[in-house]
Amino acid sequence: MSFNLVAPRFMLVGGGAVAEVASVLQKFGLTRPLVVTDPFMVSSGLVRRCIDPLEAAGIKVTVFSDTVPEPTDTVVKAGVASLRQGDHDCLIGFGGGSPIDTAKAMTILAMGDAPMSAYKVPFQADAAKLPVIAIPTTAGTGSEATRFTVITDTARDEKMLISGLGALPLAAIVDYELTFTVPKRTTADTGVDSLTHALEAYVSRRANPFSDAQALAAMGLIGANLRTAFHEPRNAAAREAMMLGAMQAGIAFTNASVALVHGMSRPIGAHFHVPHGLSNAMLLPAVTRFGLASATARYAEASRRIGFAAASDDAETAAGKLADGLVALNAELGVPTPKEFGIDHAVWEGRLDLMAEQALASGSPANNPRVPDKAE
């Protein structure tokens, strides 16, 4: 069996690492960045942690800050117009997964005049106009290390998965000190997102020895630290472990793919505007239970790594504790049900058919240990 391995060419990891951003650009001879970020990063001043060291090194910085959570094709198009106005040689995605994904999509879309939808899977988006340097401020998506970007097609209410080397950052700066200000709800949602990446990569039909090592390490870090980061936002050790875990989960799933949770999560996000990590969290316990019998040994090992099962538990017991543990984790993190989130049941029922079709079309469910049909 052969498999592909991808990761950014260079990653700088650690507290305070963002202060080195100018030297990261200089390694690659880059001098004219467009910083892609969101309005909160500007109003809160967090983006200055990236801009100040660049300006101190004599690098002129331009900022595009009109990104939105769960980015859309229209925002990416506006970003490309802004990119074409300047003489840039790279993009810096600074923020959560949304600004980073916007930067990735901009560099792919800037290749030509085709609409964003032309690049969704099964298209291989390997080409990109300019390199992206990713600087995450949430410990969740792992986008800094993945060959994916997720963009909503506003005309069709579809969250499109775009995959290829064009979306893989050239470099990433992974600085947990940027996550101290993440609100509790977002800490929970992004944390469960990273746990989902690690678990789905580990049970994926496309898992390989390299992705397994990253996924297991990530589950250990996230299992031991997510609750602490949620309850104690300024706990540096927990934030550091979560940031590393999210990054390793990203490396795991970019090389093994995600599975059924993500396949189903994208339509829920697109139709009902549920943040990505939260829709994953809503689905994770039930989808895990659905697959348990198809990969019991793998789910059991995941359960032990996360800390739900003991090393002495047999496989069936440990796997059962995984589904129960995920339910308890959701309760502790205050994850709402779709109804509690405010989703109208009748509207939900009316869209189930379309959502199931969209989930299956993304390809992710085919990686699940138990592959569902549309009715399931």
Residues forming contacts to ligand NAD in the complex (CB under 6 A) are: 38, 40, 46, 69-71, 95-98, 101, 137-138, 140-143, 146, 148-150, 178-179, 181-182, 186, 190, 193, 276-277
Estimate the share of the chain in helix, then strand, then coil, as percent rounded to the nearest 5: 55, 10, 30
- Minimum CB distance to ligand NAD, residue 139 (Å): 9
The long-range contacts involving 372-375, CB below 8 angstroms and separated by at least 24 positions, are 372/260, 372/290
Contact of 338 with 348, CB cutoff 8 Å: yes
- Minimum CB distance to ligand NAD, residue 184 (Å): 11
3-state class (DSSP) for residue 40: helix
- Minimum CB distance to ligand NAD, residue 86 (Å): 23
Q: Name the residue type at position 139.
A: A
What are the DSSP calls for 171-217, one per residue? EEEE-GGGGTT--HHHHHHHHHHHHHHHHHHHH-TT--HHHHHHHHH
- Minimum CB distance to ligand NAD, residue 311 (Å): 31
Which residues are paired to 93 by β-bridges? 36, 134
- Minimum CB distance to ligand NAD, residue 128 (Å): 14
Q: Which is nearer to ligand NAD, 40 or 210 (CB)?
A: 40
Q: Which is nearer to ligand NAD, 220 or 277 (CB)?
A: 277
Q: Which is nearer to ligand NAD, 260 or 300 (CB)?
A: 260
Evaluated on CA atoms 64, 41, 174, 191, the torsion sign reads: negative
- Minimum CB distance to ligand NAD, residue 66 (Å): 13
Evaluated on CA atoms 294, 376, 222, 140, the torsion sign reads: positive
Q: Which is nearer to ligand NAD, 292 or 333 (CB)?
A: 333
- Minimum CB distance to ligand NAD, residue 270 (Å): 10
The set of residues, in sequence order, having a beta carbon less than 8 Å from that of 203 and lying 6+ positions away, is 259, 291, 295, 298, 299, 302, 368, 369
Q: Which is nearer to ligand NAD, 46 or 83 (CB)?
A: 46
- Minimum CB distance to ligand NAD, residue 279 (Å): 9
Q: Which is nearer to ligand NAD, 193 or 212 (CB)?
A: 193
Helix axes 345-361, 260-272, angle to 10 degrees: 130
Q: Which is nearer to ligand NAD, 30 or 151 (CB)?
A: 151
Q: Which is nearer to ligand NAD, 11 or 309 (CB)?
A: 11
Tokens of 218: 């990530």
The set of residues, in sequence order, having a beta carbon less than 8 Å from that of 257 and lying 6+ positions away, is 200, 201, 204, 206, 364, 367
Q: Residue 346, class by beta-carbon neighbours within 10 Å (0-12 exposed, 13-18 middle, 19+ buried)?
A: exposed
